[in-house]
Chain A
């Protein structure tokens, strides 16, 4: 199984929105509504921000939203804040009890 494709970087000014894409295939992203998104600050463990494409765990601000169209999932961070600067990874269920992660996107708050 190949890693899901994400852009290496994305950026936005405080208060603006940034959207990160996550492209897979019909065997993973396109085949299931089981896409998750993680935020990872340097030296820290990843934190689950979105699961099942668009659901937020308790405590995650509603500035974070997810969606999916075909084989591509997206994470949008609205009202960018300095603390949103981090690496973001998508993941998807890939069938047959397998997971696959994305390549990761570094988000910079300008």
Chain B
């Protein structure tokens, strides 16, 4: 059974870079033609798609975050990562990693989410 697990610092200082990794188990990132995405949810608010990456490395970003986001994949470790630069308090959220079958399909498999707080 496919499992996704987010990991990374729970506290980041304003203006610094938020870095998270999603580790995939029960399946290989490169074994199938799947997309791997990041979604976030500020406390008490709705979901926001951050961006996605194809197993080959092609990336797709939310236009509103594109200038600050980098998503990468390491197929040898079955991991993909998120970097969000120049963070502010508005970036405080639960960050989820997820898998989807295409850029038009829904996110079928999700990690449990990790809370990242931006504060000095």
A residues with CB within 8 A of B: 1, 3, 32, 34, 36, 38, 44-48, 50-52, 57, 89, 91, 93, 97-104
Known: A32-B104, A34-B104, A93-B103. A45 touches B110 (CB 8 A): yes
Interface of B is mostly: loop
* Chain B interface residue number, banded: 20 to 34
Interface pair B49/A93, CB less than 8 Å apart: no
Partner of B108, one of A1, A48, A97: A48
Nearest B-chain residue to A93, judged by Cβ: B104
Q: A99 to B52, alpha carbons, bound, how many Å?
A: 10
Report the minimum CB–CB distance from B99 to chain A (whole Å): 10
CB distance from A32 to the nearest CB of B (A): 7
Q: Do A101 and B48 touch across chains, with their CB atoms under 8 A apart?
A: yes
Least Cβ–Cβ distance between A49 and chain B, in angstroms: 9
CA distance A1 to B49 in the complex (A): 11
Given A51-B108, A89-B46, A91-B47, output 20 extra A-B contacts at Cβ < 8 Å: A1-B64, A3-B46, A36-B106, A38-B47, A38-B106, A45-B96, A46-B47, A46-B110, A47-B110, A51-B106, A52-B105, A91-B49, A93-B103, A93-B104, A97-B52, A97-B60, A98-B49, A99-B49, A99-B103, A101-B39
In chain B, residues 12-65, which have Cβ atoms closer than 8 Å to a Cβ of chain A?
39, 46-49, 52, 60, 62-64
Flag if B112 contacts A45 (CB, 8 Å).
yes
Task: For A47, list chain B residues within 8 Å (CB).
Answer: 110
- Most chain A beta-carbon contacts within 10 A, residue among B62, B64, B104, B112: B104
**Option from B46, B103, B104, B110 in Cβ contact (under 8 Å) with A101:** B46
Closest chain B residue, CB of each to CB of A32 = B104
Query: How many Å lie between the Cα of A9 and that of B26 in the bound state?
Result: 37
Closest chain-A Cβ to B109's Cβ sits at a distance in Å of 9
